[in-house]
C-alpha cells in the first residue's frame, strides 16, 4: 500500500469526475458537468473533491488524468491510458474482477484482466453513440421521461420489440414511429435498452467474458442495462460499486500513487 495522497481526474464527455485518495482509500469526490470548457470543468471538479476531502491542493502529491478530455488536465503528472485506469478501478472494488466494463456518455470500454490486474485484451467504442449513455438520454427526451426513470420503466415491460435501427439517430425516427403507433412507453423503453445492451455485449464478447464481471461508468446506474447485459453474458451477477461513475478516476488516482 503506497502511503500518499493522490488525485484521479476523469474528464469525460458529459461529466468530469475527481477522487482524492489517501493510502488506498477514497477520502473525497467531486463531479461537475464538463460542458464545452474542459479546463474550467477540471478545475471545478478538482476543487470540489478537495473540499469534500478536506485537503488542500498542496497536499496532493500526484495527479492521474484520464478520460476523453485528459489532454486538458494540465496538472496531471502524466495522462493515463483509459484502459489501465478502468482496469485498476475495477480491480480496486472487486479483487476477483476478470472483465471490467465502463460505459459512459459517449464511449464504452471492455477490458479482460488477469488475477494481478494486468490487461489481457481490451476493446473501445469511441466511434458510435449506439452503445452509450447518450442514446438512452436522447430516447428519454423523446419519450418525455426523466433519464433516471428509463431503466425502471423498461423493467416493467413484458413485451419485447426488436428495433431495426442500430444507430442512435435512426433509432430516434423509429421510436417516434412507435410512439405514433401507440406502443406502450415501457415496451419502447425496453426496446431501447435492449438495443444499447446489444452493442455493449458485442464489445464485451470481443474481449471475452471472464468472471467476475464488473461494470463501471454512469450507465451502470441503469438497472435495465445491467440486467440485459447480465442475461446476454449468461453470468449470475454483474458487480457494480457504489458510485460507479468514479471508477476510472479511482483507477487513475491509484496508478498515480503506484508511480504509474
Nearer to another protein, 116 or 127 (CB): 127
Q: Does 146 bind another protein (CB under 8 A)?
A: no
Instruction: For the CB of residue 236, give the shortest distance to another protein in the complex, in Å.
Output: 33
Interface pattern 36-75 for another protein (x via CB under 8 A): x---------------------------------------
Q: Which of 71, 148, 176, 231 is close enough to bind another protein by CB under 8 A?
A: 176
Contact 31, 21 (CB under 8 A): no
Instruction: For the CB of residue 127, give the shortest distance to another protein in the complex, in Å.
Output: 4
Q: Which of 119, 179, 209, 235 is close enough to bind another protein by CB under 8 A?
A: 179
Q: Which of 4, 145, 161, 167 is close enough to bind another protein by CB under 8 A?
A: 167
- Reduce the DSSP state of residue 208 to 3 states and report it: coil
The grid cell for 48 is 470540489
Instruction: For the CB of residue 85, give the shortest distance to another protein in the complex, in Å.
Output: 21
What is the C-alpha separation between 186 and 191, in angstroms, rounded?
9
What is the C-alpha separation between 163 and 166, in angstroms, rounded?
8
Instruction: For the CB of residue 188, give the shortest distance to another protein in the complex, in Å.
Output: 11
Q: Does 189 bind another protein (CB under 8 A)?
A: no
What is the C-alpha separation between 138 and 172, in angstroms, rounded?
8
Contact 200, 86 (CB under 8 A): no
Phi, psi values for residue 131, rounded to 5°: -105, 30
Q: Does 177 bind another protein (CB under 8 A)?
A: yes
CB-based contacts of 97, cutoff 8 Å, min separation 6: 90, 91, 113, 117, 212, 213, 214, 239
Nearer to another protein, 143 or 256 (CB): 143
What is the C-alpha separation between 220 and 241, in angstroms, rounded?
9
The grid cell for 130 is 449506439
Contact 100, 216 (CB under 8 A): yes
Residue 86 burial (C-beta neighbours within 10 Å; 0-12, 13-18, 19+): buried
Stretch that binds another protein, among 55-63, 94-102, 169-177, 237-245 (CB under 8 A): 169-177
Instruction: For the CB of residue 161, give the shortest distance to another protein in the complex, in Å.
Output: 16
Q: Does 182 bind another protein (CB under 8 A)?
A: no
Instruction: For the CB of residue 191, give the shortest distance to another protein in the complex, in Å.
Output: 16
Instruction: Tell me which residues touch another protein (CB under 8 A).
Output: 13, 35-36, 106, 127-129, 134-135, 138, 142, 144, 164, 166-170, 173, 176-177, 179-181
Amino acid at each position: 500500500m503506497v502511503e500518499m495522497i493522490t488525485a484521479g481526474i476523469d474528464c469525460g464527455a458529459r461529466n468530469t469526475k475527481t477522487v482524492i485518495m489517501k493510502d488506498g482509500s477514497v477520502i473525497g469526490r467531486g463531479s461537475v458537468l464538463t460542458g464545452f470548457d474542459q479546463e474550467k470543468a477540471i478545475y471545478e471538479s478538482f476543487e470540489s473533491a478537495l473540499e469534500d476531502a478536506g485537503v488542500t491542493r498542496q497536499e496532493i502529491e500526484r495527479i492521474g488524468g484520464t478520460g476523453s478530455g485528459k489532454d486538458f488536465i494540465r496538472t496531471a503528472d502524466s495522462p493515463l491510458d483509459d484502459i489501465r485506469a478502468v482496469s485498476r478501478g475495477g480491480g480496486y472494488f472487486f479483487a476477483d474482477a476478470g472483465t471490467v466494463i465502463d460505459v459512459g456518455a459517449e464511449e464504452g470500454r471492455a477490458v479482460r484482466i488477469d488475477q494481478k490486474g494486468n490487461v489481457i485484451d481490451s476493446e473501445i467504442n469511441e466511434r458510435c453513440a449506439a452503445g452509450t449513455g447518450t442514446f438512452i438520454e436522447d430516447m428519454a427526451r423523446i419519450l418525455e421521461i426523466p433519464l433516471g426513470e428509463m431503466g425502471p420503466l423498461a423493467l416493467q415491460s413484458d413485451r419485447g420489440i426488436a428495433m431495426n435501427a442500430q444507430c442512435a439517430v435512426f433509432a430516434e425516427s423509429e421510436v417516434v414511429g412507435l410512439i405514433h403507433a401507440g406502443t406502450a412507453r415501457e415496451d419502447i423503453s425496453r426496446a431501447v435498452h435492449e438495443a444499447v445492451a446489444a452493442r455493449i455485449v458485442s464489445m464485451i464478447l470481443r474481449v471475452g467474458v471472464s468472471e467476475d464481471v464488473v461494470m463501471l461508468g454512469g450507465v451502470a446506474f441503469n438497472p435495465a442495462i445491467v440486467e440485459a447485459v447480465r442475461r446476454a453474458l449468461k453470468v449470475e451477477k454483474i458487480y457494480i460499486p457504489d458510485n460507479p461513475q468514479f471508477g476510472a478516476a479511482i483507477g487513475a488516482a491509484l496508478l498515480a500513487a503506484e508511480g504509474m
